[in-house]
Structure 1
Amino acid sequence: MKFAVVPRSAPALKPLALACALSVLAADAFAQVAAQAAQDTLPSIVVTGARFPAQAATAPIGATVITAEDIRRSGATDVNAAIRKVGGVYGRQSLDASPDFALDLRGFGSNSAQNVVILVDGVRLNENELTNAVLSSIPVDTVERIEIQRGGSSVLYGEGATGGVINIITRGAGKQGTHGSLFAEAGRFDAHDLRASLTHGAGPLSFDVAVAKRGTDNYRDNSEFRQKTASGGVQYSYGAGRAGLRFERSEQDARFPGSLTEAQFLDNPRDSFTRDDFGTLDTDRIGAFVEHRVGAVELAAELSHREREVEANYFYMSGGAKVASRSRYDASQTQFSPRVRHIATFGDKRNELVAGIDLMRWERQVKSDFSRGDAEQDSKAFYLRNEVLWNAPHNARLAIGGRHERFTKDYSDPLAFPPVVNEHRRQSINAWSLEGSVDVAPQVILFAKAGRSYRIANVDENSLRSGLDVLAPQTSRDLELGVTAGGADRQLSARLFRHRLTNEIFYDPTIGWGANTNLDPTRRQGFEVEGRHAVTQDLRLSAQWQRVDAEFTGGPNAGREMVLVPKNVVTVRAAWTPSGTLSGHSADIGAQWVGSQRYGSDFTNSCGARIPSYTTIDARYAYRVGAWEAAVSGLNLADRQYYSNAFDCRSGIYPSDGRQLKLSLRYDF
């Protein structure tokens, strides 16, 4: 008889208890729709629709928006944490002690970062390698909002958008005059965070600067993390448009605590057996944008360049002596994305036509003890999307779009076995989408999406592949049906989704010593529910629930579960911002329950254990007097000992952080 070992922990909240909040939100939203139809209206916040600014009426269907106030109230100290805590997106513990968790939309496991496109002001942060987007380098005080679009979005955003798109929008033109803030925070594990930001607006010209220095020893041994960031931007607005320039610099040092076996985790989850391993990451980004209107035509473009310098140092014993393995690489990426939008009105109909081009060049030069793998990739894409909006008798939208993208890949590595010399490959792929919505009743919107999305294997996947040729493109047939009910104060959104994948790109540990390959057919399907409810003027509730079934649908593993995919992720938050005599006080508390999942190597579903489910709780209380705000916050308040990353059966475990308490002080001027 086999037993699954459950880590020591505080009592976990039951899944039903967390899910009940969604049921309450659902019942209340539908019950209040008719009564509130006249009072409630959709938020007027401007979001990014079809890669152009759009009002709520033409916002991306099913998008989630996190505002700067949401981020500040939650106490999130970086963009990644805000997406997880406020947006309810599941994040998997990073391997390098950094706060850049792998964000997973719709259950793509260890390759989740390669199936979500992450943008900053429309510029891709994704790299052509097996790394997570470094969101910690974005100063959180510069963020105006974060938009989360779930589901296949390759028509507008290209390869890797099957799970969805996360777009971080930084502040636009500053207010007139000079404004800024100073922030200091300290906490357990020698955590410290110092930030300063300044904005200035004078007529059509505005600029902003922000600097930050943060660090922590983290929960585990040999997991220290230090980071310094600086960013700035200048913008000029004129009658027919605006233009601007922005730069960012980040320097990051991290220790690598390595993995544990299950026995080691149960004995001491803070332990490390790689006490000498460390690395550095330096990133520079610069970008320019322009937007200009000529009558009914809008023109826009971004030009950006990013450079990364990465070093990693690993140590191991050989013949009784400690041996070092070092690697370094320099990578750069340049992107140019011009596009045009034409809007025409015909009676009660509005037509929006968008066309654009995405040009990207990525290069990497490697210097390591085991590789000299230099690589280049060029991509050229053209996309077209047309949307029609009918205002009567029911607001209805219908959009159709297509994209064609070509990739050219060059790779050489004389240290590979066998050596690779001037490998040159070309690939091309198409995507399409059809989506629509209709107001079936006051404040009740039905919507549907269908389409094809895709992903191309990156340089790391192709350098350790199962065959002689480069991996085939991964394609997905996407389908989504949903409903949104309610207004700004009471709203519920529910979506059913399905992704049927062909040639999914994944690391298969059962091939020899392990290799990247194109899997037999796989599928992701399930549902997502999001709700928010203003119980009173002072108390607001929000909740998200994602359930996904990820499994093989063909080949010898047909019917078996995909690895590192929790079936359920439920997030609930409550925000209290009183007025009157209690004005100045505020509190925010959240809980997230993550269901159990298969270990990373368990393709045959034969391991006698699963990664256990867990619940984490975080909270923040703040008090403001004039321009000053003092706050106390806590993460993993129940001090749960858990892990979300484990790559072998009962081993390869990367423990997550224990309880952490922090104190902060902020001054706004």
Structure 2
Amino acid sequence: MSCLTQPLLANETITSKQRIEQDTETVIITTSRFESQVNQLPSHVTIITKQEIERLSATDLSQVLRRVPGIQVSNTNGKTSVSMRGISASQAGSNVLVLVDGQRLNKTDLASPDIDTINIINIERIEIIQGAGSSLYGDQAVAGVINIITQSGQKQTKTLRYAQGRFDHKQTAGNLGFQIDEQWSLVIKGNKKETDNYRDHNELKNNQLGAELFYQDNQQQWRFLHRTRNETQQTPGALLESDLDDRRQSRPEFASDYVSTDEDYSRIFGQSNLNSNWQFALDVNHQESDIQSINSFINFATFNVNQTRRSQSSVYPRVKGSWDTDNGPLQWITGFDYDKADYEFSLLARSNEQTMESVYSQFYWPLSTNFQLELAGRLAEVEDQLTDAALYPQGVVLDNSASAYDVGFSYQFNSATKGFIRYSNNYRFAKVDEQAYTSDGVLGLEPQTGISLEAGVSGQFESSSLQASVYQLKLEDEIFFDPSATPPAGAFFPGANVNGGESTRLGLLLDYRYFLDENELGLTYHWADADIESSDLAVPGVSENTVTAWFDWQLTSDFSWYLETFYRDERYQEGDTTNTFSKVGGYSLLNSALYWQLDNARLGLRVDNLLDKEYIDYAQFNGYYPAKGQDIIVTFDLVF
């Protein structure tokens, strides 16, 4: 999975014409799990390059993803969740698939993918596919797929970073690439980060170290990766509305709360050209997580140390065939996915061994030189071997199956404009801990299924670009936590995980860029109407309108200024399926960045929430999580 977008030199700028040419010629891997031309795909695709990230003086992914239409970013005091297409933040980890170089960050339990652990200097580009990806990626790819591509051994760039900012933020990071010989190269990646965050009792310490061995010749490439992470974070918990006069405080019942995580990731990925028509790829992943935590509730302090252990393994072999026709290449991709997860939670004597197996295929068929058909499908089965002290002390085996398929058409109207339409089935299985907290008498949850319909157009013009699409996402048996449901036996709090009724999400995505030499004016907009069909109530946690506008100004050949305004509409609190709690207010932010590059040195200054506005980023059941005030971070990079 190589990156074909070449990095700029330290003193090189990019013109509007070069940006547009790169956009139309870019090769990405997320829409087929092999390299594909972006202008052939029947999807709304957003690509964020390394150069864009640098000009933002970004220090974390949330700063980059906020301006992507269709994405809503929420933060609960140091941890970020990313939702798409009218999916709420509390459901995002189950319905939005996040990958790093094709490796899943999503957990098999309800924990969200931890995007805050990704060191941004390692990122080569980000590929974002709007819409259902169940046919190609299976479980959890309901609303979209975000794939973060990191620097591989092909790039021998060495980058060192030091960052310092408000709230005692300090970071030291390195990304060092070495060429061993003509075929072999090595990348060593390290990151040490400390911050007190915005609120009291919210200190975070994070240490990461990884190494990747890379082999490439004319016929094949292989990556061997291992990385470790150790992180400890104090968790300040939620506040009541009456506490919000002092938004930085932590209530006394959370004084002992924390989360400590030790993780190890290993991966082997290889891709080989078997002959002129066939390619083979093999992806083998394994990750282990050991977590200790104390988790209290408002007005209810606990002091028990909980142990959570996760083990996730996957094997993904696949092949791609490609044949030249008069209309262009005909492509067939097929593969088999095997995933196994072991989960243990000490507090409830709960464990689950989950095994998923699925087979899939995808066709790209050029019906004419301008008209292309995509067909894709998947069959999947899952087995849960579940034990729970309260519900299933003797253990129970749960079996489920699901299927998905896509039909998509793309049409190239001319050299500058493309349109597409796509129909998709999607699904997700219940997470390992969702199956163990169902209503009394309910034996496991059925798979959530859905239908996605979308259409869009994109254009690359002389000095501007435009992407626009509309979508409808209908979900059946949607899996979520219902506070009014009958709780399981021995429950600590009311409610249970349920298969709900139908929900429908309608939306509009717009992404417009205007280029004037090296300067860029941008505007993105997302309108979402998310409703629960049976009650005609709003899906909680979803804002109807989200807007980002920015101006990226190249003041001199080596100095740029970025100014951004962001608006998010009001929404109901997470979990409020009856729409009876008070709404979380909308807010607007002003962010700015300066970026200076000279020879091998780069200096960045990023100010988020420039006007120091007070707002709530996340709220659930009248528990509020205040967002950061004005945040200032200075970064210094050496690239050689």
TM-score by length of structure 2 reads 0.91
Asked if the contact 1:130–1:460 (Cα under 8 Å) also holds between the matched residues in 2, the reply is yes
2:538 aligned counterpart, secondary structure? coil
Asked if the contact 1:66–1:86 (Cα under 8 Å) also holds between the matched residues in 2, the reply is no
Using a 3 Å threshold, how does the CA distance of structure 1 residues 339 and 40 change in structure 2: closer, same or farther? closer
Partner of 1:401: 376
Describe the superposition over 1:487-506 as per-residue Cα deviations: whole angstroms up to 9, x where unpaired: 48511111110011110001
Partner of 1:478: 452
1:563 aligns with 2:540: yes
Asked if the contact 1:539–1:577 (Cα under 8 Å) also holds between the matched residues in 2, the reply is yes
Describe the superposition over 1:343-366 as per-residue Cα deviations: whole angstroms up to 9, x where unpaired: 111222421111011101000122
Partner of 2:293: 312
Partner of 1:27: none
Partner of 1:502: 476
Describe the superposition over 1:336-394 as per-residue Cα deviations: whole angstroms up to 9, x where unpaired: 101001011122242111101110100012223xx1101110000100111112453xx
1:240 aligns with 2:219: yes
Describe the superposition over 1:54-80 as per-residue Cα deviations: whole angstroms up to 9, x where unpaired: 233434632101111111221222334
Describe the superposition over 1:303-348 as per-residue Cα deviations: whole angstroms up to 9, x where unpaired: 01011111112468999xx751220111110111010010111222
Partner of 2:266: 286
Describe the superposition over 1:64-114 as per-residue Cα deviations: whole angstroms up to 9, x where unpaired: 0111111122122233443235677211113xx33x411110111121221
- Counterpart selection for 1:552 from 529, 532, 535: 532
More moved, 475-484 vs 437-446: 437-446
- The CA distance in 2 between the partners of 1:336 and 1:343, in whole Å, is 23
Partner of 1:659: 630
More moved, 72-81 vs 585-594: 72-81
- The CA distance in 2 between the partners of 1:233 and 1:352, in whole Å, is 31
- The CA distance in 2 between the partners of 1:323 and 1:73, in whole Å, is 45
Q: Which amino acid aligns with 1:404?
A: L
Using a 3 Å threshold, how does the CA distance of structure 1 residues 317 and 597 change in structure 2: closer, same or farther? closer
- Counterpart selection for 2:93 from 97, 108, 113: 113
Partner of 2:162: 184
> What percentage of aligned pairs have identical amino acids?
25
Partner of 1:10: none
- The CA distance in 1 between the partners of 2:223 and 2:376, in whole Å, is 29
Partner of 1:172: 152
CA shift, 1:42, in A, is 4.5
- The CA distance in 2 between the partners of 1:71 and 1:225, in whole Å, is 24
Using a 3 Å threshold, how does the CA distance of structure 1 residues 488 and 233 change in structure 2: closer, same or farther? farther
Q: Which amino acid aligns with 1:62?
A: H
Partner of 1:362: 341
Q: Aligned runs of 1:227-626 on 2, under 5 Å?
A: 227-265=206-244, 267-273=245-251, 274-293=254-273, 294-314=275-295, 324-368=303-347, 371-390=348-367, 392=369, 395-414=370-389, 416=390, 418-466=391-439, 467-487=441-461, 489-512=463-486, 513-534=494-515, 536-554=516-534, 557=535, 559-578=536-555, 582-607=556-581, 609-626=582-599
Using a 3 Å threshold, how does the CA distance of structure 1 residues 142 and 174 change in structure 2: closer, same or farther? same
1:147 aligns with 2:127: yes
1:324 aligned counterpart, secondary structure? coil
Asked if the contact 1:174–1:208 (Cα under 8 Å) also holds between the matched residues in 2, the reply is no
Asked if the contact 1:60–1:149 (Cα under 8 Å) also holds between the matched residues in 2, the reply is no
CA shift, 1:452, in A, is 0.5
- The CA distance in 2 between the partners of 1:302 and 1:199, in whole Å, is 22
- The CA distance in 2 between the partners of 1:313 and 1:545, in whole Å, is 40
Using a 3 Å threshold, how does the CA distance of structure 1 residues 277 and 446 change in structure 2: closer, same or farther? same
1:470 aligned counterpart, secondary structure? coil
Describe the superposition over 1:158-204 as per-residue Cα deviations: whole angstroms up to 9, x where unpaired: 011111001111223334xx541221111111111111221112322
1:203 aligns with 2:176: no
- The CA distance in 2 between the partners of 1:172 and 1:44, in whole Å, is 20
1:64 aligned counterpart, secondary structure? strand
Q: Which amino acid aligns with 2:121?
A: D
2:435 aligned counterpart, secondary structure? helix
2:264 aligned counterpart, secondary structure? strand
- Counterpart selection for 1:130 from 81, 105, 110: 110
Describe the superposition over 1:437-466 as per-residue Cα deviations: whole angstroms up to 9, x where unpaired: 112344221110101100111022111112
Partner of 2:47: 65
More moved, 188-197 vs 463-472: 463-472
* Dislocated runs of 4+, deviation >6 Å: 316-319
TM-score by length of structure 1 reads 0.87
- The CA distance in 2 between the partners of 1:60 and 1:306, in whole Å, is 33
- The CA distance in 2 between the partners of 1:348 and 1:317, in whole Å, is 63
- The CA distance in 2 between the partners of 1:89 and 1:458, in whole Å, is 23
- The CA distance in 1 between the partners of 2:264 and 2:42, in whole Å, is 31
Asked if the contact 1:484–1:494 (Cα under 8 Å) also holds between the matched residues in 2, the reply is yes
Asked if the contact 1:71–1:86 (Cα under 8 Å) also holds between the matched residues in 2, the reply is no
Q: Which ranges of structure 1 fall in alignment gaps of 5 or more residues?
A: 1-35
- The CA distance in 1 between the partners of 2:70 and 2:55, in whole Å, is 15
Asked if the contact 1:503–1:518 (Cα under 8 Å) also holds between the matched residues in 2, the reply is yes
Q: Which amino acid aligns with 2:174?
A: A
CA shift, 1:563, in A, is 0.7
Asked if the contact 2:128–2:145 (Cα under 8 Å) also holds between the matched residues in 1, the reply is yes
Q: Which amino acid aligns with 2:84?
A: L
Asked if the contact 1:408–1:427 (Cα under 8 Å) also holds between the matched residues in 2, the reply is yes
Using a 3 Å threshold, how does the CA distance of structure 1 residues 40 and 358 change in structure 2: closer, same or farther? closer
1:194 aligns with 2:172: yes
2:438 aligned counterpart, secondary structure? coil
